[in-house]
Structures are given as C-alpha cells and as structure tokens.
Amino acid sequence: MMFTVTFVAGSAVIYVIAPMVGPRMTAYFRAEAPPSVEEAASPDVAGSGNAQADAQETARPANVPLKTLEDDDVSPALEGVFLARASEQPGWGITSRKTPYYKADGTYVGTLEGGILFDCAGTYTSSKGEMVECRFLKEGMSSGTFFVGRKDALFFTASHRKLSKARVRALTEYYQLSGRVEARRTELLEKGAERNPHFAAARASHEAYQKHIQDAKRLQQMRDTQTDAKRMEVEDKLREMKLKEVALKKTFEEAQDKFTAWKKEHAGELAKPDDDADIKAWTQRKKELAAALPGLAH
C-alpha cells in the first residue's frame, strides 16, 4: 500500500477545509476544479473497464415509493448495522456528496456523486489521513477497487446486504438528494460571493496562507530526517517561515473581515439557499425517506 504522494484536492470549494484555519473562514473560495469523471476514466483501475460509469449508474434518481417499506419492520440495528465508529472496521459505505477517490498509489481518479454504494475491504494510513479500500457496486457486482478518505463518506458496520432491497433503494435516494442539496447550496453561495468586491483579495490571501502552511509542514518533515548542520539550516528557515506565517494570517484575516462586512451589509441582495425551491423540495423528500431509515440517515 503506497499513498505516499500528495493527493489532489477533490472538493471544488475551500469551505470544506475552512475549519483548518478557524471559524473566521466563510464558504465561498473556489479551488482548482479536478478533472471530470469522464476525463479521469482509466481502464487499468476497474475490472469492468469503466468503473466511473458503473458507479455513477447507481446514483440515478430512485424515487422509492415509501409504501414499499411498509412491511420492512426489521430495524437495521437488529441486524448489526450501525454508523461505524472511528475505531471500527467498516463493512460498507455510501457517498453523501461529491467525493474524490484514488488508486492504490494515491493517484486521483475522479469524483463520485452522492448515493454511491460500496463494500469496504480494509483501512490504511496515508499522507491524507485514513483511507478505506472500496469496491463500488453495480447490480451487486464489484466494479473494481479504489480508495476513499474515511472523512469523505459515511461508513457502516456489518453489510448492506442485511437490508431489504427497498431500504437500500431508499438509502441511495436519500444520499443522492443530500449530494444535490449540497451542490445547489454551494452554487448559490458562490454566485453571491462573486458579487462581493472583496472576493478576489480574500481568496488570494487565503490561498497564499494555506500554501505557506503546507510548505512549512513539508519543510518540517524534511528537518526530521536531517542531522547536524543541515538540520540547523532547516530550523532557521522554519523560524523565518513562522514569522511570515503571522503576516500572511493577518493579511488573510483583514481581507476576510472586509469580505464578511460587505456580505452582511448586502445580505438582502443575496440568494438564501434555504429559500431555494429545489433545496426545499429535496429536503422535504429527505425527511420522508429518513422515517424509513432508522440509524442510517445522517
């Protein structure tokens, strides 16, 4: 198991990583978009020859009639199906939003939509944290082995095969809708952010700050492998970078304050995601489905 390379960011917006730099960060700054699933297609990764298409096919709207679950009285908990704790080995999982996935060597493959079901074969530590070896499914058959970050999807104990087919269809639809809600919310937030005259400065300062942090981490790792004079040289460089980090953080926070102030002053002019008709409809449908998914809807 390798995972020694630095992974490409799979998320299209920086708000996903905002907690890393504190609560001041808002959900608006766009990172470089990854290649599309079609562009990332790689015959050597999947037994079917097109794992992306196989996996995405399971994400088509299910529109499960809730009456199909009327006779499905067995609680998933009675079958040993729970949300897996961090210390537990998951048996299976499902994507709830756009999720990046990788080859065994850490190479970025593409992005999956919400509602993709997969089996789990093992967990591994990598430079991006804990990764789970997954086998995406199409009509119950594996479409090849890939890796998904433990933090990027939902993982459960036991097996999804202990659930009825109707419940699995409801589960798939529920998380398809979760992905659509998040994507639509992000779209509306980004449109509002682009109207903000402080957007470009805030984004640039955020990117510079984040790049500096990552460069410092890499230098620190290099220092830990050095000895004597070379180690002292690297430590001097790290001290210089620490001072620069303070300045970059100050610049970022000042730009962020201007961005936030403008946003508050013009709040009435910006679209509110919770008022969007599609988001309302999808959220209502999720509530209906959740009643049939005890312990599975998160």
DSSP codes joined into one string, 168-229: HHHHHHHHHHHHHHHHHHHHHHHHHHHT-TTHHHHHHHHHHHHHHHHHHHHHHHHHTT--HH
Q: For 270, what's the count of Cα atoms within 13 Å in the CB-facing half-sphere?
A: 21
> What pLDDT sits at residue 69?
59
Taking residue 121's Cβ as centre, other Cβ atoms within 10 Å add up to: 15
Q: What is the mean pLDDT of the chain?
A: 80
Q: Does residue 114 sit in the same domain as residue 145? A: yes
Give domain status of residue 9, yes or no.
no
Q: Which amino acid is at 33?
A: A
Q: Does residue 173 sit in the same domain as residue 60? A: yes
Q: Is the dihedral of CA 280, 180, 184, 100 positive or negative?
A: positive
> What pLDDT sits at residue 186?
94
Mean pLDDT score, 76-103: 95
Mean pLDDT score, 44-50: 38
Cβ-proximal residues to 281 (8 Å cutoff; 6+ apart), any chain = none
Confidence of residue 43 (pLDDT cuts 50, 70, 90): very low
Q: Does residue 155 sit in the same domain as residue 232? A: no
The radius of gyration computed from the CA coordinates of the chain, to the nearest angstrom, equals 22
Q: Does residue 206 sit in the same domain as residue 163? A: no
Quick check: 5 pLDDT over 50? no
d(CA 298, CA 296): 6
Give domain status of residue 285, yes or no.
no
> What pLDDT sits at residue 66?
60
Q: Does residue 161 sit in the same domain as residue 24? A: yes
Give domain status of residue 2, yes or no.
no
Q: Which residue among 182, 215, 242 closes a domain?
A: 182
Query: What is the count of structural domains for the chain?
Result: 2
Q: For 27, what's the count of Cα atoms within 13 Å in the CB-facing half-sphere?
A: 10
Give domain status of residue 8, yes or no.
no
Cα 93 to chain centroid distance, Å, stands at 14
Q: Does residue 130 sit in the same domain as residue 57? A: yes
Cα 236 to chain centroid distance, Å, stands at 36
Mean pLDDT score, 172-191: 96
The single-letter DSSP state of residue 103 is -
d(CA 43, CA 40): 10
Domain containing residue 111: 14-182
Q: Does residue 159 sit in the same domain as residue 217? A: no
> What pLDDT sits at residue 207?
96
d(CA 181, CA 190): 14
Going from the C-alpha of 179 to that of each of 99, 116, 159, 184, the distances in angstroms are 10, 10, 23, 9
Give domain status of residue 168, yes or no.
yes
Confirm whether pTM is higher than 0.85: no
pLDDT tens digits for 241-270? Answer: 999 999 999 999 999 999 999 999 999 988
Q: Does residue 166 sit in the same domain as residue 230? A: no
Phi-psi region of 116 (alpha: psi -120 to 50; beta: other; left: phi over 0): beta
Mean pLDDT score, 167-176: 96
Q: Does residue 93 sit in the same domain as residue 234? A: no
Confidence of residue 113 (pLDDT cuts 50, 70, 90): very high
Give domain status of residue 34, yes or no.
yes
Q: Does residue 168 sit in the same domain as residue 241? A: no
Q: Does residue 89 sit in the same domain as residue 132? A: yes
Give domain status of residue 189, yes or no.
no
Q: Which residue among 182, 209, 239 closes a domain?
A: 182
> What pLDDT sits at residue 164?
93
Q: Does residue 158 sit in the same domain as residue 31? A: yes
Cα 259 to chain centroid distance, Å, stands at 25
> What pLDDT sits at residue 67?
55
